[in-house]
């Protein structure tokens, strides 16, 4: 029978630091069964970093799970570094990590920006991917970015007001540009308050019901700076995605099976995007969670994600 909730807490059996281009150093860890079926966890943001709870979507007796913090995020260094930080760089980093760990093929698991990066990697290296488990799908289209920056005020006017009120009135006509200037300012007295305002906005809109713990986790300095600065940087450059976007290249991965989990009331990445993706992917199965928002830790979403991973376990 499919498991109903997350697996118990587990510590990594191996951790490491992988030098990358541009002075970046990637933190990575492995958990679970060293001889198990390989899976790669891709965190959101971009820039949010991974946490201990993300290890718990996988049965540690079966899966060999690789988790890493993307360039500039989490435990990777330098924190919030934007130089040589693009989607093609991240795709190349994943390949470098795969080769260094001696993994032939793996299951990709990613939500929000993690789903974007999973798709970009799979399209670049389809021969390395056994399947995908995606949540809260984000395709990086301009309309999706605009929804985050301005459209969310229709549902969360109070959170959006706090978000824009961090900016002087005369700069609110270009929210992204105004935030990016502050987030890239070298003075912590400038960039840290901006990072907290951006991240708290995202956290406030991520769950169906108010979750002070979620907002507090987004507001932590390490999370906030990496998330806000790198997210704004990627938004300003159309997520560094290929011409035509990800949907234009779905033919490369049409043969790869996928499980897509989507909260019905996901306001950060509305359900329309997941439906668009599944319509272009013959082997994708969509599960809509009727009582959930964006967060992977919403009760219905985490149950659906664990069940999706278990279905790939049975496929072998």
Residue of 24, 54, 233, 294 marked catalytic: 294
Residues 93, 183, single domain; the answer is no
Burial class (CB in 10 A: 0-12, 13-18, 19+), 247: middle
Examine the fold and report which residue of 191, 217, 238 is the final residue of a domain before the chain moves on: 238
Per-residue model confidence (pLDDT) at position 16:
98
Tell me, yes or no, whether 1 lies in a domain.
Answer: no
Residues 24, 115, single domain; the answer is yes
Q: Which two tokens stand for residue 62?
A: 């079966």
Residues 252, 103, single domain; the answer is yes
Per-residue model confidence (pLDDT) at position 217:
79
The total of structural domains in the chain comes to 2
Q: Burial code of 97-128, b = ≥16 C-beta within 10 A, e = fewer?
A: bbeebebeebbbbbbbbbbbbbbbbbbbbeeb
The distance in angstroms from the start CA to the end CA of the chain is 16
CA atoms within 13 Å, Cβ hemisphere of 32:
24
* Number of neighbouring beta carbons within 10 Å of residue 271: 18
Residues 232, 154, single domain; the answer is yes
Tell me, yes or no, whether 2 lies in a domain.
Answer: no
**Does 115 participate in catalysis according to the annotation?**
no
Tell me, yes or no, whether 84 lies in a domain.
Answer: yes
Per-residue model confidence (pLDDT) at position 260:
98
Residues 22, 111, single domain; the answer is yes
Q: Which domain holds residue 219?
A: 143-238
Tell me, yes or no, whether 5 lies in a domain.
Answer: no
Examine the fold and report which residue of 219, 238, 257 is the final residue of a domain before the chain moves on: 238
Tell me, yes or no, whether 253 lies in a domain.
Answer: yes
Per-residue model confidence (pLDDT) at position 4:
57
CA atoms within 13 Å, Cβ hemisphere of 216:
3
Residues 193, 112, single domain; the answer is no
CATH number of the domain enclosing 88: 3.40.50.1820
Residues 124, 232, single domain; the answer is no
Average pLDDT of adjacent 10-residue blocks, the chain of 316 residues: 75 98 98 98 96 97 98 96 98 98 98 98 98 98 98 97 97 98 97 96 91 77 90 98 96 98 98 98 98 96 97 80
Residues 172, 297, single domain; the answer is no
Residues 137, 267, single domain; the answer is yes
Residues 30, 133, single domain; the answer is yes
DSSP secondary structure letter of residue 51: -
**Does 266 participate in catalysis according to the annotation?**
yes
Residue of 54, 59, 93, 112 marked catalytic: 112
Examine the fold and report which residue of 214, 238, 262 is the final residue of a domain before the chain moves on: 238
Report how far apart, in Å, the C-alpha atoms of 200 and of each of 78, 81, 166, 193 are.
22, 21, 12, 10
Tell me, yes or no, whether 134 lies in a domain.
Answer: yes
Per-residue model confidence (pLDDT) at position 316:
58
pTM of the model: 0.96
**Does 76 participate in catalysis according to the annotation?**
no
Residues 160, 196, single domain; the answer is yes
Per-residue model confidence (pLDDT) at position 1:
35
């Amino acid at each position: 029978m499919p498991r109903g909730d997350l697996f118990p807490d587990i510590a990594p059996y191996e951790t490491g630091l992988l030098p990358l281009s541009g002075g970046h150093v990637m933190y990575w860890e492995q958990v679970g069964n060293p001889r198990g079926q390989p899976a790669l966890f891709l965190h959101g943001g971009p820039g949010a970093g991974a946490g201990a709870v993300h290890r718990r979507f996988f049965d540690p007796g079966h899966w060999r799970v690789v988790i890493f913090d993307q360039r500039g995020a989490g435990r990777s260094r330098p924190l919030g570094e934007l130089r040589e930080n693009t989607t093609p760089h991240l795709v190349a980093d994943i390949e470098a990590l795969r080769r260094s760990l001696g993994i032939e093929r793996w299951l990709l698991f990613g939500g929000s920006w993690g789903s974007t990066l999973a798709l970009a990697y799979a399209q670049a290296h389809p021969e390395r991917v056994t399947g995908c488990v995606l949540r809260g799908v984000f395709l990086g289209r301009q309309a999706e970015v605009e929804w985050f920056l301005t459209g969310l005020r229709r549902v969360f006017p109070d959170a959006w007001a706090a978000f824009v009120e961090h900016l002087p009135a005369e700069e609110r006509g270009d929210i992204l540009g105004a935030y990016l200037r502050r987030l890239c300012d070298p003075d912590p007295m400038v960039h840290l308050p901006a990072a907290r305002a951006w991240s708290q906005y995202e956290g406030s809109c991520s769950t169906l019901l108010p979750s002070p713990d979620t907002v507090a986790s987004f507001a932590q300095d390490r999370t906030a700076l990496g998330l806000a600065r790198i997210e704004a940087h990627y938004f300003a450059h159309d997520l560094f995605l290929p011409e035509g976007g990800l949907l234009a290249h779905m033919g490369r991965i049409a043969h790869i099976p996928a499980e897509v989990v989507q909260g019905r009331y996901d306001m950060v990445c509305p359900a329309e995007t997941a439906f668009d993706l599944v319509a272009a992917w013959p082997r994708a199965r969509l599960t809509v969670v009727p009582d959930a928002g964006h967060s992977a830790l919403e009760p219905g979403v985490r149950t659906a994600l664990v069940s999706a991973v278990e279905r790939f376990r049975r496929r072998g």
